Structure 1
């Protein structure tokens, strides 16, 4: 590139008609200027006595130009001495010298002093960071191809390296040792140190911990299990962890995991993010964007501290934080700061009440644990203890009582068999109980209405009145209760005194995934009257829930006789949330009745709008192709439960009111743990015509079976015909239509025929389609149906390719 520029300058200077002698001088000046500019931008070494200025354009780059080191600015007057990926789109930073002490945009510099110390100084000369080296033998600073900034002596020995002082990222070949830790940023878009850490604990196990000034809480590996149940060992004196060049992270406590795109030749990083999750990212060279290829925590609400003290993490579409009822955010812009009470804490020592929030718990902070305890006894235990902030009551067996000293990091989960009861002053006004899910209530039983420090009304009655008066008292009490009910309905429907944010937060809990009873769904579907469709896994009916939500209820057939299949589908879909996946609201399991409750999608399935008279236009088809790819990419790469759909076809792609796709029917989905024993899927049913060739060969199934099915769907959308209808009975002939199509594309495309795309695309569109998008989709579709699965692209790469031509709208 540089030589071409010089040739161009030469032509400009000498190939003119006037042949002016000053052109020679001009050419020399330009060469000198060009040389200075080129050299000022990139240094391979920063020698002792030299410096980099924040105002200058000098940077240290690795020999292969993968990494750059220099001043990195954010905002108008804040700079950091940092290392970043040169070719990533956002110049992703992997190491920072002064993460908590930015320097000024003028006068700041980094230099190697005569005593061998590398020093970062601010505008006033104050030292903001320095290396712990004092060897006069240091010759220069160099940035290696690994992203490691090193100080070397003249013999090339490394005397200091940035790999020994990591920030939030571990690069391939960088070793995390027992005396080092990765610390997250406090929030996205900030370099300031946060509260989440990856380190080796005192038990020698590689762990994730929330560590704030107020509290510490270990959350990975799962603290509910012992070390060995988690697949680790604490017989680990070396305490080393490393991410290798193939995308495998392993540590000396026997932990091992790998990126989904495992292999050489990909730039990767292991980062602990501001949300407390540990992830491996892979760089997509064509776009400079990052793709998540592994993460430690599959459910974000399992990260302790993600919503701070007195916060509750609710998984609704995406994880959301809300404050515990009776509390409000400390800092409206930062959930790490948690929530504070809206009441005077001293009121908890007098008249109190309890607010139940079902399927919710708080991590740790147990004052007491009482097994085989009644709810009433648990309530009294909390009521009588001034340190109690609430209690959790788990409803399996005979009941388990956990009295909480703090409400640190709550979470709502459909798998949690119990409720939390929040201790609040009697004077605090909150919304009425029916906005909570299921049987949640304000504990407004007679027992709960009795105020602490007040004599029992029943005690007074027994001591001072006759039986006749007791009957009259009961009648009066009934009238009062009726009045309370009426007032309760008035509060509910007028939402009297309830802040909109609190109301929205509580509704988020009440509408979450839950367990339905059979009678409830029978009523919702009008005794299963309106059938929407049927398939191998069961029949789907339309229904309306008590809260007026329109739903699709799948009544599972005999194919789901085993509990394992049923629970696999339920737990998988219930925890997955994506705009291009059908949302699951809950389930029912009573005796032989097993039903799944989904959101209702208005415009039926894709096949109804593709192979019939009312067919989709081109823009809608492309949107469906892109949305479907995004949904599958989420299943394969982002939700990281390694979900394989195994039955991708037009009938399982539903269209909402805006004709956006939502992938349905996860009845065949299985969980595939990568690189683990017994991960092969052995009991699979699919649809002929969309099944990848490896099915017939009994090979272990991977996400590439979904890629194959997606490819068939894409080609059907392009041609407007059902390719599976062409398939003959003999399974060996399944590929014939696809081979014919591939041959057609090859023959017409390579013969210079510019109309080859038109010969493939659905003639019903009458030429109204984007040629660029159509050609891209054809190539993607054919790549997806390659017989060799290793040649098929990943769904993440398909999404990226389609997004690059999303704006090509010429018709």
Structure 2
């Protein structure tokens, strides 16, 4: 069945870890092998493993079967036709490989491997070979690549057949119908009902404009201590910049698992099947309307918030709607804005969060509001950093930052005193003044800024700048866009 040329609403991406190369003389496409033995064959409890895929012999994809974007057979359907696996349109005339909802008008993509790979041409081919390999060939003249790495398993473990099951799981089986590999073991930015996020597993967001970016900025990690954590990825896999957590970090050793149920409820279980937390109940989410066929998915979106979505499959005009979300404040995710920028969001308008550069700065990439901000091209030379009447302090109200002060002054009872303290210190570029009347001095860059909403506190940010004219005074600061600069410290 050919994939309709539609705009997919959601693109996702595979997270994988490195593995040793196979001893075979063919290359690996990149989806890495993993211990995907189903629950019935593991020595641990049911809640610390993945259920066996539900499939029947009548929907086997046999050896010798193939897919190609240029043929009428570009995808394989699940038994009910709900999901499809195969090639879909991507980019300008190219194609990607993935799994998507095929039975609803919004053909939402839920899984794809190797998003760092460029789109394939119309001459690409996926094939289950007669000797039990699942290979990708980019063109007729290119070498064969293993689409899934077999981990050097013995000959008797070769693939015998495959299936895309109605849960949205693409599975490779051996001759004994044991699972050799399944897409559910490699979640992307989406978790489907009956798919589990095991201890140590994570999903990640995808760039809004670059769907092939391999490193999602935002991650959802099921930690080994039982805590479910959202964090901003700095490229080093660090979770120190977390901005949401389930608060279940006392379950170390109990192998806590996250699962989305068929009725839309989002649960956390331990290895004994005991409920650790029902996340959906915290906001009243979950529950299938009587008489409707409702589909659900959990997705970490490119705004850094993970949500449970639902859609009425019986209504062809229905659209995905939010049932539950980890935060209603779109400025909560750390890293939504770049360095020297801050986030604003008005809940009543229900619009995307907006990033703003501090005065005198512009976005490095003006097409990406999430990019860092740097000094405006119209800025002036700072000259010597001395208090000579050529400097002033601009003020931002109700902006919170990740504080990185090098000095805290507790004896500054007024805003003016805090400003004067920064102007008198040649190392000071930023002064943060709080309701406790403490004055925190720090250098650039400012990071993880957001405007506070519905709060009685009034944090103030003073930014040190220099005037173009020595006649400018603190009482009459210049227009920032025409004449403002500060000294950048590159991190």
TM-score, normalization: structure 2?
0.70
Q: CA deviation at 1:417?
A: 1.8
Work out whether 1:281 is the aligned partner of 2:312.
Answer: no
Residue 180 of structure 1: which of 191, 194, 201 is its match? Answer: 201
* Deviates further, 364-373 or 271-280: 364-373
Work out whether 1:200 is the aligned partner of 2:225.
Answer: no
Work out whether 1:141 is the aligned partner of 2:162.
Answer: yes
- In 2, are the aligned partners of 1:66 and 1:85 still within 8 Å (CA)? yes
Q: CA deviation at 1:208?
A: 0.7
Separation of aligned partners in 2, 1:420 and 1:273: 31
- In 2, are the aligned partners of 1:278 and 1:295 still within 8 Å (CA)? yes
Separation of aligned partners in 2, 1:188 and 1:292: 22
Unpaired segments of 5 or more residues in structure 2?
1-57, 271-275, 485-491
Work out whether 1:391 is the aligned partner of 2:431.
Answer: yes
- SS of the residue aligned with 2:310? strand
Higher strand share: 2
Show CA shifts across 1:556-610 (max 9, x none): xxxxxxxxxxxxxxxxxxxxxxxxxxxxxxxxxxxxxxxxxxxxxxxxxxxxxxx
Separation of aligned partners in 2, 1:60 and 1:338: 43
- Are residues 232 and 377 of structure 1, via their aligned partners in 2, closer, same or farther at CA, if it must alter by over 3 Å? farther
Q: CA deviation at 1:199?
A: 0.6
Partner of 2:298: 270
Q: CA deviation at 1:314?
A: 1.3
- SS of the residue aligned with 2:370? helix
Residue 412 of structure 1: which of 420, 435, 451 is its match? Answer: 451
- SS of the residue aligned with 1:335? coil
- SS of the residue aligned with 1:300? coil
Partner of 2:72: 57
Q: CA deviation at 1:250?
A: 2.1
Q: CA deviation at 1:67?
A: 0.5
RMSD in angstroms over aligned alpha carbons? Answer: 3.5
Q: CA deviation at 1:416?
A: 6.2
Separation of aligned partners in 2, 1:399 and 1:131: 57
Residue 394 of structure 2: which of 332, 355, 358 is its match? Answer: 355
Q: CA deviation at 1:188?
A: 5.8
- Are residues 361 and 50 of structure 1, via their aligned partners in 2, closer, same or farther at CA, if it must alter by over 3 Å? same
- In 2, are the aligned partners of 1:236 and 1:252 still within 8 Å (CA)? no
Partner of 2:15: none
- SS of the residue aligned with 2:459? strand
Q: CA deviation at 1:116?
A: 4.0
Separation of aligned partners in 2, 1:78 and 1:196: 27
Separation of aligned partners in 1, 2:420 and 2:269: 48
TM-score, normalization: structure 1?
0.44
- In 2, are the aligned partners of 1:387 and 1:405 still within 8 Å (CA)? no
- In 2, are the aligned partners of 1:175 and 1:241 still within 8 Å (CA)? yes
- In 2, are the aligned partners of 1:393 and 1:402 still within 8 Å (CA)? no
Work out whether 1:46 is the aligned partner of 2:61.
Answer: yes
Taking the TM superposition and a 5 Å limit, the aligned residue runs for 1:182-331 are 182-187=203-208, 190-193=211-214, 194-201=216-223, 204-213=226-235, 218-221=241-244, 231-237=247-253, 238-252=255-269, 254-258=276-280, 260-263=285-288, 265-285=293-313, 286=315, 287-316=317-346, 317=349, 318=351, 319-331=353-365
- SS of the residue aligned with 1:163? helix
Separation of aligned partners in 2, 1:75 and 1:153: 35
Higher relative contact order by CA 8 Å / sep ≥ 6: 1 or 2? 2
Bigger radius of gyration: 1
Unpaired segments of 5 or more residues in structure 1?
1-42, 223-229, 430-441, 450-480, 500-811
- Are residues 387 and 191 of structure 1, via their aligned partners in 2, closer, same or farther at CA, if it must alter by over 3 Å? farther
Q: CA deviation at 1:161?
A: 0.5
Taking the TM superposition and a 5 Å limit, the aligned residue runs for 1:556-571 are none
Separation of aligned partners in 2, 1:407 and 1:427: 21
- Are residues 393 and 108 of structure 1, via their aligned partners in 2, closer, same or farther at CA, if it must alter by over 3 Å? same
Higher helix share: 1
Separation of aligned partners in 2, 1:387 and 1:307: 25
Q: CA deviation at 1:402?
A: 6.2
Separation of aligned partners in 2, 1:348 and 1:127: 61
Residue 166 of structure 1: which of 187, 190, 193 is its match? Answer: 187
Show CA shifts across 1:504-542 (max 9, x none): xxxxxxxxxxxxxxxxxxxxxxxxxxxxxxxxxxxxxxx
- Are residues 345 and 167 of structure 1, via their aligned partners in 2, closer, same or farther at CA, if it must alter by over 3 Å? farther
- Are residues 496 and 69 of structure 1, via their aligned partners in 2, closer, same or farther at CA, if it must alter by over 3 Å? closer
- In 2, are the aligned partners of 1:178 and 1:200 still within 8 Å (CA)? yes
Q: CA deviation at 1:382?
A: 4.8
Partner of 1:96: 112
Give the total of aligned pairs.
392
Show CA shifts across 1:753-776 (max 9, x none): xxxxxxxxxxxxxxxxxxxxxxxx
Show CA shifts across 1:428-449 (max 9, x none): 79xxxxxxxxxxxx9x6xxxx4
Work out whether 1:105 is the aligned partner of 2:130.
Answer: no
- Are residues 216 and 261 of structure 1, via their aligned partners in 2, closer, same or farther at CA, if it must alter by over 3 Å? closer
Q: CA deviation at 1:399?
A: 3.5
Q: CA deviation at 1:209?
A: 0.8
Q: CA deviation at 1:302?
A: 1.0
Residue 67 of structure 1: which of 57, 63, 83 is its match? Answer: 83
